Each structure stands twice: as C-alpha cells, then as structure tokens.
Amino acid sequence: MDPDPAPTEPLAAPSPPEAPPTSGLPETANVITWKEMVADRDAVRHAGDGGGRVVAVSLPPPVEVGSAVELVGELIVGPMGIREGGAIQLVPTPFWGWSPPQADREGADGYTTLEAPVGVTLDAQGSGGMLTATVRGRALRPDERVRFTYGAGQTARADRFAERAPALWVAVDADGDGVRSVVRDAPLVVTTVAGPPAGLVATLPSVAAPGEEVTLRLAVLDAVGNAGRPVDLTVHLALPPGVSGPDELHLRPEDAGIGAVSLRSELGVIRVGVTADGLGEAVTNPMIVRDGAERVLWADLHVHTALSDGTGDPDDVLAYARDVAALDVVALTDHDHWGMVFLDDDPAGRQRIASAVVAAARPGFVPLVGYEWTSWLYGHRNVVYLGPAPEVWPSSLAPGTETPQGLHEALRGTSGMAIVHHPAGGPVALDWSTALAPEVEPCVELSSVHGQSASPELPGPIYDSVPGTFVEDHLGEGPAVALLGSSDSHDGHPGLTRLAGGGAGLTALESAEPTVPSIRDALLHRRTWATNGPRIVLRVRAGDVGPGGDVHLAGGPPDLEIRVVGTAPVDRVEVRSGAGSWAALPGSGSVFHAVVPFPEEVQPGERWWVRVVQQDGGLAWSSPMTLVP
C-alpha cells in the first residue's frame, strides 16, 4: 500500500505571482510538493471560498470494509453565494480506498449525481479522485441547496480499513478563480467495520519475574488487521510447561473479538500458542522470565488518524494501540500541513487529539500528543510532547519554524522532542546537515511502513532511496542518537501495520517505567533498540554500559556481550562501527548469546552498535555506544 500519498490535486490550482525561491535548498528537497503547499498557503481566497454548510440527508448504517455504499448530502450555499463559473468539489477521503466519484457512467464505480436549483446546471467532471461541478446558467444564491448522491445505486466502495470518519468532503470555489477551500464541518461520516475474521494476534510482555501475574492480550482480526468484529468463539491456549492460567477464553459478541487472560510463569523463555476454529494458530512474542530482568516498554511514536492522511478516529486508534496491539507507549502524530483540513490551522482538531490522549490513558499505557512537522525541504520530523503540549504547534510552513533550526529553537524550553524519520527516502529524504540536536532532537526513526532506512544491504529498504542518506552512513559522526522504529501507521493499526502487507517498526525502551518522565529519560539517554516490527529482545552490554551509553577505554575496552531472543530463527548478528561491519556471527535458532572483544585498535570517539537479521526478514538495531577515553 502507499502509506503517505501525495494529494491527488492541490486545492489551490494557481501559483502565487512569484514562485518561491529554490536556491540554497538541500539536494534531497521535494521542491515540487513544497511549491504546491506554498501556493495553497499563499493563494488569495474569496470570502465565499469554503462557505456554506454541508448536511447529511441519508447515510448508510455501519458497513463492512470495502462494501458498496450510497450516501446523500446537501450543500447549503453560504452568504456570499457561488458565482457562475464557480465550482463545488466533492472529495471522498482520498487516501485509503473510497471510490473516486464520477458523473458520466451510470452504474459504474463511484457514480455520483447532482441536483441543482432551477436555472442552474452543474457541469461535473471527475479527475484525480475528485468531482468538480462548475456552476452554469446563473449564480447560486445564499441558502440555496445542491444535493449530491455519491455512489448512486450503491456504486461506491468503502474504505478497506475500519473507521469512524468523514467519507466525503465538500470544497467551494465561490468566484471561479480555481482556488477552493474545504467546508469545515464534515457530517458525512460513515462507519466501516472489520471484515470476516481471518486470524488471531496474541501478545505478552517481553520480560517478567517468576510468578509475576502478566496479561496475555489477544484479538480476532480480519485479513488486513481490522479489529472489533463481534464473534462468539472459544480461543484455546497452548500453555508450555511451567505456565499456569486458563487454557481457553470464550469471546462473546459484546467483546468485539478482543480479550485478555492472566498468566504466571516459572523461569524460562515463554511462547504461548493460541488457536480458534477456522482462524488457525498464532504464537505470542517471546517472554523472558527471570529474576532481576530489566523491563522493556514497547512504543510506537509515529501514528496517523483521519485528522490528516490516516484512517480512524483518534479515540479508536488509541484503543487499538492499547487493547489490540498491546503497546505500552503510543504517540498520535498527524501532519501539521497535509490532508483535507490542515492541523496547523485547525484548533478544534488539535484539541480532539489532546482530549483523546487524556481519555485513553490507563495505568501501564501512556498515550502522547504529537504531530508531524511535514517539511518537504529538509525531511519530515515527528514532534512528541513528553509533558504539557502547547495549543499552537510550530508548523513546517510557518515563518520562523519552517527550518529545522527554527523548529529546534521553538522546542527548547518545552516538553517537545523532535524525531527525524524515513531519512533515506520515501516521501522525502533527510537533509542530514540540519539533523539532530541532542537536547531536542536526539532520535532517528529508521524503520516504518515505508521500509527501513538503516542500510540498502538489509531486507526491505525504503522506496525511492537516496544514496548517502541511510542511517548507518551517519551513525559514526555527529551527535549520538537513539535509534527508533515506528509504524508510521495510516491504517488505524499502530504497532501492527505489517498485517496489512506493508513495512513496520517498533521501539523498545530499556529500563523504563510507563510514566512520561521515565520514557523521556530513556529517549534522551538513548536506552533503546529499534525493530522493523517484531518484538525481538536485544540486550547489548559493554561491562555495565547498555545501548546508547559511553564505554570508557581506560584500562582497555570491556568485552561486548550480546543476547538476542528472536521471534524467528536468527540468521546473523553483526557488530558494526562507523567503518562498517566488524563481526558477523551466525545464528542458530531463535536464541543467541555471544561475548565479543573489542578490537585492540579502537579509538575514542568511535561508535559501535549491533544489528540482528532474522531468517524471516525481521531486523533489530541497538542504539550506538560511544567509545570515550
């Protein structure tokens, strides 16, 4: 799937009188998209653009994803009217599978009809996933109504991901100059629900003490990872020796296919298989049970909703993160200036995110407010607030914060932390010369739905990659960084984007508690490892120094101890530095342990890290250690 598509057509068609300057921009800049965004921002809008109200006349009941639908709505013309030659534009949510509207082929996909007042004709043309109806005959007067039927005769197809969100937006160009604005109210909400049950997902904590009560979370999912389908079935648990707890769980329709059981275990590495009739078997991630084991939190710090270019209401997306994906930490990071209504100009949208975060919090589950600073010039960054979030976010298109330096300055003294992501390409590669400021931008996301940006020689590299921008090209220089993985989910499935067929990413926070101060401390001190989705446990120690720490060379460097508990057989474990791979150790099974001496010629200032490659393509990277005198 294409997780971050460009808009099918800018709402502001004309360019401003003077094109923005492009001299001095980084070679990695996506100048075309940036110019489109600037043109839309700077376009002079008529007072009637985006005017009026949209009302729902007939909406379908909740429908299964991908089903045929018809919805009827009306635009009540605003007080400025719409001139002859002006236009009304119908825009289905453009990102995840709604049928493009068309008015030419009755009975075909997305067939749409329009009804205008007497004396007005609407010349409707479909293009780029939108239907633009130009006003002919006479102007539309204030309070007149235009009725539209999207999917007339049940010909439109719904989103393939379950959600509660607007299915159709309306934009108005009141004076016919080609510049349109979206009508802000969006009552044309259609609820899409999960398809037929197709499988199970089950998750355990990665670490537990012997005899400690832990929660196994499980969910019934459809073929692309949607949850919430009512079922009446029994899930059987294959508990290994030494594990006590129920061996089955009955899910009733009111459970919506989501459940949990409590278990206790003796020492060991535990995996639990779960089965249900017709749904096959799923196996949990490994849980390491031993005394004194350091806790691990699993985080996804890059998640989109329908408030920008994702799927799902913020409340529903956070519930999925907590109850289905069993995440410990999640951040909502919708784009500041991308989608149908831009959040940098939408205080109500920002408040919805803040309210959803407060409502979703539970003991052991930490949701966070954030946003994506969507710079097409310098690379995208997430800003996550590990504390109070301001009412106004520093925007990638606002004077003073349109550069990384401006963003960094705006974040100083706040709880905000910037995280660079998809640095090696995809939508836009990172300008590394502007990246990283230890106190406000200490992290790099190197794996997501776009693919991995660590190295082109590893499985699943990011699309449209730019040579020289992969993360491992830069780990040996500049400030020390924490390596993160995040989903960059647009499907409403934080933590589990891989189920829909795309890439993925997760972050493990080591020695952290599920509190905001502890999470912030782990990120700032780089106590992390990243994966491309699976919950691989990767422990790296040089003496008593863990990932992201400083290894003192006085008296000689300590040995490097590596422990891996994988979700699949380990192909190899590599010890790497800024000079490349120093040791490649073959795996044998899903559990790996080795002690590797540092070479005698190591020098202060060098960085060393470990990466894991599983036979199934699963990857993990430890945050680099820095050698110091």
Instruction: Please provide the DSSP assignment of 568-614 as one string.
Output: S-EEEEEEEETTEEEEEEE--SSEEEEEEPPPTT--TT-EEEEEEEE
- Please tell me whether residue 607 adopts helix, strand or coil conformation: strand
pTM for the whole structure: 0.95
**Is 535-629 in CATH node 3.40.50.1820?**
no
**Is 53-193 in CATH node 1.10.3470?**
no
The answer to whether residues 134 and 86 touch, using CB atoms and an 8 Å cutoff, is yes
The answer to whether residues 359 and 330 touch, using CB atoms and an 8 Å cutoff, is no
Residue owning tokens 């709604």: 98
**What residues contact residue 601 under an 8 Å CB cut-off, 6+ apart?**
none
The answer to whether residues 396 and 359 touch, using CB atoms and an 8 Å cutoff, is no
Cα angle at 528 between 522 and 530, to 5 degrees?
Answer: 145
Cα Rg, the chain, nearest whole Å: 26
Beta strands in 271-328 (DSSP E): 273-276, 280-283, 287-289, 296-303
Spatial strand order of the sheet with 207-208 comes to 207-208, 287-289, 268-270
Is pLDDT at 574 greater than 70 in this prediction?
yes
Q: Work out the mean pLDDT of the chain and round it to a whole number.
A: 94
Side-chain half-sphere of 277: how many Cα atoms within 13 Å? 6
CATH architecture of 296-533: Alpha-Beta Barrel (3.20)
Q: Report the pLDDT value the prediction gives residue 500, as an integer from 0 to 100.
A: 76
Q: From CA 78, how far away is CA 46, in angstroms rounded? A: 12
Q: From CA 306, how far away is CA 285, in angstroms rounded? A: 30
Q: From CA 126, how far away is CA 309, in angstroms rounded? A: 21
Whole-number percent of the chain with pLDDT over 90: 89
Q: What is the mean pLDDT of residues 453-464?
A: 96
Residue owning tokens 């390409």: 425
Q: From CA 525, how far away is CA 480, in angstroms rounded? A: 9
Is pLDDT at 9 greater than 50 in this prediction?
no
Q: From CA 319, how far away is CA 217, in angstroms rounded? A: 13
For residue 205, count other CB atoms closer than 10 A to its CB: 23
Q: Rounded to the nearest 10 degrees, how much is the dihedral formed by the CA atoms of 146, 94, 497, 532?
A: -150
**pLDDT tens track for 10-50:** 344 444 434 455 667 899 999 999 999 999 999 999 999 99
Is pLDDT at 157 greater than 70 in this prediction?
yes
Beta strands in 63-108 (DSSP E): 63-64, 68-69, 71-76, 87-92
The CA distances from residue 289 to 20, 282, 299, 552, 592, in Å, are 59, 20, 21, 31, 16
**pLDDT tens track for 404-416:** 999 999 999 999 9
Q: Report the pLDDT value the prediction gives residue 7, as an integer from 0 to 100.
A: 35
The topology (CATH level 3) of 199-289 is Immunoglobulin-like (2.60.40)
296-533: same fold as 199-289?
Answer: no
Q: What is the mean pLDDT of residues 79-92?
A: 98
- Helix ranges, 337-420 (H): 347-360, 404-411
Instruction: For the chain, give every domain's residue range.
Output: 53-193, 199-289, 296-533, 535-629
Is pLDDT at 106 greater than 80 in this prediction?
yes
Q: From CA 319, how far away is CA 317, in angstroms rounded? A: 5
**pLDDT tens track for 471-529:** 999 999 889 999 999 999 999 999 998 887 778 999 999 988 999 999 999 999 999 99
Q: What is the mean pLDDT of residues 549-559?
A: 92
Q: Is 284 left (phi over 0), alpha (psi -120 to 50) or beta?
A: beta
What tokens appear for 410 in the block? 């705006």
What tokens appear for 3 in the block? 């997780």
